Amino acid sequence: MFAVLAAAVVSAAPVAVHSYTSGEAQFSANTWLVETARGVVVIDTQFTVSEGKAVRKKLESLGKPLLAVLLTHAHPDHVNGTAEVLAGQKVPVVALAGVKTVLDALDAPKRAYWGPQLKGEYPKTTVFPTQLVKPGETVTFDGVAFTAHDLGEGESADETVWATGAHAFVGDLVMYKVHPWLAEGHSGAWLTSLERAKALTGFEKVYPGHGVAGGRELFDWQRGYLEAYRKNVKELAKGQPTLSDQAKKELEARMEKVLPKAGLAMLVAMSADAVAAELK
């Protein structure tokens, strides 16, 4: 599924990167808007209808047309706002084939879970990718080249790094200084994917799916968090595939020391059993 290529393609034109971040109730997700000379490429599209509309408003404030939407992975907080961002426009929605495969599998169960809770805030229909790319393939919009690097499993079952020039949009391969979603049991594979990302060259700035942008040190930060979480889960699980309620409270206390006063703290206990089972 994954492929690590030697270098990110250098874009042929300068870009400006803008951001939109949702509130914590919508998982503090990032949308990145890459402004070219004559348009904007949007990377990831938020969780709810309202947040998708907010991205559209941010896009319109730039005064340039939408050129494309690029998706980093298939989780709802990164794909649900696509229809609102498009607002009826016929522009490519681009993703790795592996990301679409995951989205195909997740769409119905996620809708069954979230739809009754969010009601009109959950989109009536999901916009699926209209253009699929292969690992290492490059797409160009207004002279700016974006290369899709398939990192394989991480926070989700298929993670993409979209690289253009000095910029790398890494989705939830990095959830910087917030507690990550680990309930899919990919924590070991996530560590491997981070090493694959570090092997990529050609970019200096890393734009995460959650948290502020930074340099390549964000990969090491994410590794450190995952190692700490796995270590604490292993100690508290004591060889069992689940943690008791008391052990989960202790895990929360320990991870609070690792990452004090950080967002998405509710995910710490929610992910514990999956990681315990994975480690066993």
User: Contact, 268 vs 251, CB < 8 A?
Assistant: yes
pLDDT tens, position by position, 193-234: 999 999 999 999 999 999 999 999 999 999 999 999 999 999
Q: What is the DSSP letter of 143?
A: T
Strand partners, 162: 148, 169
d(CA 252, CA 237): 14
Q: Does domain 16-216 have CATH number 3.60.15.10?
A: yes
Q: What is the CA radius of gyration of the chain?
A: 18
- The 10s digit of each residue's pLDDT in 135-157 is 999 999 999 999 999 999 999 99
* Angstrom distance (rounded) from CA 221 to CA 213: 12
Residues 103 and 74: beta-carbon distance below 8 Å: yes
Residue 5 has a pLDDT of 33
Q: What is the pLDDT along the chain (280 residues), one digit of tens a residue?
A: 333 333 333 344 689 999 999 999 999 999 999 999 999 999 999 999 999 999 999 999 999 999 999 999 999 999 999 999 999 999 999 999 999 999 999 999 999 999 999 999 999 999 999 999 999 999 999 999 999 999 999 999 999 999 999 999 999 999 999 999 999 999 999 999 999 999 999 999 999 999 999 999 999 999 999 999 999 999 999 999 999 999 999 999 999 999 999 999 999 999 999 999 999 9
Which structure tokens are listed for 187?
């924590």
pLDDT at 101: 98
E strand or H helix that includes residue 35:
strand 30-35
- Map tokens 């889960």 to a residue: 233
DSSP state of 75: -
Nearest partner of 62 among 121, 127, 15, 118, judged by Cα: 15
Sign of CA dihedral 271, 80, 112, 1: negative
160's tokens = 């993409």
* Predicted local confidence at residue 3, as pLDDT: 37
pLDDT at 14: 84
In degrees and rounded to multiples of 5, residue 13 shows phi and psi of: -145, 150
Q: Do residues 72 and 172 touch, judged by C-beta distance below 8 A?
A: yes
CB 19 within 8 A of CB 33: yes
Q: Which two tokens stand for residue 166?
A: 């000095």
Q: What is the pLDDT of residue 1?
A: 37
Please give the pLDDT value at position 13.
Answer: 65
Where do the domains of the chain lie?
A: 16-216
pLDDT, residue 12, reads 46
